[in-house]
Chains A and B, each alone.
Chain A
Amino acid sequence: MSFTSISFAVFFAILITLYRIAPVSARKGLLLAAGLFFYGYWDYRFLALMGACIVADYFLALRIYQVESPRQKRGHMAASAVLNLGLLGFFKYYNFFAASANTMLATLGLHVPNLNVILPVGISFFTFESMSYTLDVYRGRLEPCQRLLDFALFIAFFPRLVAGPIIRASHFLPQIQRPLLFQWSSIQAGSMIFLSGLVKKVLLADNLAPFVDQVYRAPQVYHPLTVWLATAAYALQIYYDFSGYSDMAVGLARMFGIELPINFSAPYAARNITEFWRRWHISLSTWLRDYLYISLGGNRKGAARTFVNLMVTMVLGGLWHGANWNFIVWGGLHGLGLAAHKWCTARFPRIALPALAARGLTVLFVLLLWIPFRAPDWTTASAMFHQLLWLGHGVYWLYPWAFVAMAVCPVSGIRHRAGEPDFFLFSTETFWGRTQVALSVMSLLYLSPLNLSPFVYFQF
């Protein structure tokens, strides 16, 4: 049940009506039931998986808090980590590692069985959230949640269930421990943010998707200019797709009076790669920073160790996106970029590029690294780079929507600074603001493709 589907519209209409009429005390239960239904709608079999995760981490966190001995605390924490990482590893990476192992072991005549494991939707998100909760309790930063219902709602809150943002218990739980109110002002604010996401996803990302798909299918057929355009178009597609989803999630949550953390902050306005990661998929990058990079020692153990920590964090961050070598390479190259930027700023602290040049270089770097991320194989990626270097000829295709999206991106991003949300700001207070809203709705009705693409991040 995607946010852009008719079935979701029906689901949401029923849910918000029930939420309006239900007594305040029943609203948490209602949201939990909605979350379970929403998740079960994809594949009810995986409800058991999520249920196991919820129950186990709820009790493990309580035990971590209750026991005195550090050894016992560590043991319970390890159990939680093994459970979450085990689930993630098995469902997400087994096929990949089995195939890789089989390639390496072929000469020895050994074979790892391929189980064709199906990836449960959203597993990368809810396992990280659940694990961060037990980690926070283990580190003494958070008291454990006393009610299973609250913890279950934290994991199964439907707006961010399948593709984030990755939320922290410390951020979410206090909000649901207050009475959940129904307020028209929240409905209005949330629906404007939801509309922002819808425009990004349906109007921009989905209109770019066919062009990108076609060029990535056979880049050697197309003219270098077209391949450059497709490279830029993919950068915009994945941004609008994922940030659109995040906006929708934030908007939906807001309608129920719950604030979710922002996930994007105009990432292509970043002046360097470090800043880019403070603006792109913020909930993941901060998770990796807090629970992985800092745990590894961060930058406290010298330059060499900082470099290693960065590389490990980014490679694992790449691997989080999917079980494939291209994600590992993508993460690794971003790690190198971050390390290079750290080294440059330490070595030449007084040299600063003009803002425009710095932004241009950062965007170019990010743009080129999206190629191995998107390409289905190395042959396609190398064909893309071959064309980008103007080494081939081909068919011109200057796709109009790519220019529209390129024009919208700086216009909408220019007024945002790192840390601010990059919603399209629709104001309903003025006539012009309401007209913008009406025009956006008309654009969705008349200019969106008839066949919508699935969200890119659903596969992660």
Chain B
Amino acid sequence: MDDRSTGGVLAGLVRRWTGPIFFSLALFEMVIRAFVYSPRPQVPDPLLGQVPTPGSTWVNGKEGLGRIHWSREGIRGRDLPAAGEVKRVVVMGDSFCLAEGVSDQQTFCAGLERELSRRLGRDVWVGNCGRSSLDAADYMYLLPAYERKFHPDLILIAFSLSDFRIVDHHLLPGIMAQFDCDAPSAQALTCLSSGGTRGQHAVDATVRGTLGRFGHAFVDQSSLALYGGARLYAKLRKATHEARINRDDQIATAGQMERYLAALAALSKTPIACVYLRPWNLVLPATKPAAPATTARPGMDDAPPSMRGSLNNHFDLVTAARLQEAAGRLGIPFLDTGPAMRRQFERTGQPGAGFPNTFDGPGFGHLNPAGHAVVARATAPLLARLLTDGSGFHRLRVAQAWAKAAGVSAPAGVRVGASSAAALSGARRLASGLSR
């Protein structure tokens, strides 16, 4: 039998291990902060709810390695020039637009800014207002806020596959219920914070009082706490509703999209244009023979099923085609980046999406630097024309007239500043949903 008592052994352990543990914690804090996931401080904004602390820099090395610098306005990229003859473009979108995996200069918004400045021969500011987890319904709430905040000359909405999935509990009521703004979505909460903080908000809503405040301060300052908490949350979280598209009828119809775009036009005072970010996922054989059941398969030769339902080129193509049809009817400028992405893939053999440091690798995931460059090059001519020939306003008026004739109006509840209230309501909803 060992002659040492359990108490003595424990005391010895504490004495010998305290130093190494603290040293390792400090070292890991630095490594995680620099290469994996930095703290994500946020401040309240009267129009937008919680926004990243202006001037701060966030690091995301989970997919690519992006260093995200937040401007004075709490959006990504350079500060809005104070005055002068600068053309302003606001780009709204989700994580594809925000592009946490690439550096500030590699986002398509930055590329667009350079390309437009070159084409127009003048200073153009492109504000990257992308936020993770947004979808089409969120833009209804955010568009007026951005209009008021930035007074843009043009608003570009960058859609992606997740925007029009009606399996999502958020979008379906929004579209089908004629934008019932009395019931802002739970997503409105997460849309008001930037990527990767969903878990943090859930914990916030659950842990209250002094403990909650202490925890909040802790994760605001420590990468280990934030990243560790997010991992723990992801590990413990029960598999909930998977917003995954498996059939064509789980995507909004062209008619629904048309009404949505018409309402957006009715809401807007600024010319709007849309781009659909179609990444072209790699086509690999499925591990399980679970071919997605499609009710219609337009252009299947061009869009073979990829390995996953949620990253399926076919559903991307369906969404893009319907959106193009809807925008075309309204006269709203629209561009599908799919053909340009495919040309890039055929020319270089390398996909415009995905990063080497993920488990899926290139071909799956958000746009990589090459993909962002393609989108910037493909979109610039359209935006340059809209900014110079006045057709942007003309097209907006056409869409608004169409909306008026069809009886589609902006949601009554949407007003500038509504987002903060929506966030609070959404927070409660999200918290109760999670606790169930």
Contacts and interface: CB of A to CB of B under 8 A. Distances in A.
Interface of A: 181-185, 210-211, 214, 217-218, 221, 223, 393-400, 428, 431, 434-435, 437-439, 441-442, 445-446, 449-450
Nearest to B27: A439
Nearest to B286: A217
Contacts of A397: 356, 361-362
6 contacts: A181-B1, A184-B9, A393-B349, A442-B24, A445-B228, A446-B227
Contacts of B23: 435, 438
Contact of B1 (A182, A218, A431, A438): A182
A185 B4 CA distance: 10
B231 A221 contact: no
Nearest to A433: B20
Interface-centre pick from A185, A210, A218, A434 (highest chain B CB count, 10 A): A434
A398 B224 CA distance: 27
Interface size class of B (residues with CB under 8 A): 35 or more
B20 A435 contact: yes
B294 to A, nearest CB: 22
B28 A442 contact: yes
B284 A446 contact: no
Interface-centre pick from A211, A218, A223, A395 (highest chain B CB count, 10 A): A395
A449 B358 CA distance: 11
Nearest to B351: A395
A399 B28 contact: no
Contacts of B21: 438
Nearest to B8: A184
Interface of B: 1-2, 4, 9, 16-17, 19-21, 23-25, 27-28, 32, 36, 224, 227-228, 231, 234-235, 282-285, 287, 307, 349-351, 356-357, 359-363
Contacts of A217: 284-285, 287, 307
Contacts of A182: 1-2
Given A211-B361, A217-B285, A399 B24 contact: no
A435 B350 contact: no
B226 to A, nearest CB: 11
A427 to B, nearest CB: 12
Contacts, number: 87
A396 B360 contact: no
A396 B228 CA distance: 31
Contacts of A399: 356-357, 361
Nearest to B32: A446
Contacts of B357: 399-400
A439 B2 contact: no
Given A214-B359, A396-B362, A441-B24, 10 more contacts: A184-B9, A214-B360, A217-B285, A217-B287, A217-B307, A393-B349, A431-B19, A434-B17, A438-B23, A442-B24
A183 B359 contact: no
A397 B285 CA distance: 18
A437 B21 CA distance: 9
Given A183-B2, A393-B349, A396-B350, A437 B228 contact: no
B58 to A, nearest CB: 18
B141 to A, nearest CB: 32
Nearest to A380: B285
Contact of A442 (B25, B283, B351): B25
A441 B228 CA distance: 13
Given A395-B350, A396-B350, A446-B32, A434 B16 contact: yes
A223 B348 CA distance: 12
A218 B24 contact: no
B363 A395 contact: yes
> Considering the complex of A and B, which 6 residue pairs feature the smallest CB-CB distances, nearest first?
A210-B359, A438-B24, A434-B20, A435-B20, A218-B284, A397-B361
Contacts of B282: 221, 395
Interface-centre pick from B231, B351, B359 (highest chain A CB count, 10 A): B359
Interface-centre pick from B20, B285, B287 (highest chain A CB count, 10 A): B20
A192 to B, nearest CB: 13
Contacts of B283: 221
Contacts of B287: 217
B401 to A, nearest CB: 47
B219 to A, nearest CB: 15
Nearest to A376: B287
B24 A435 contact: yes
Contacts of A218: 284-285
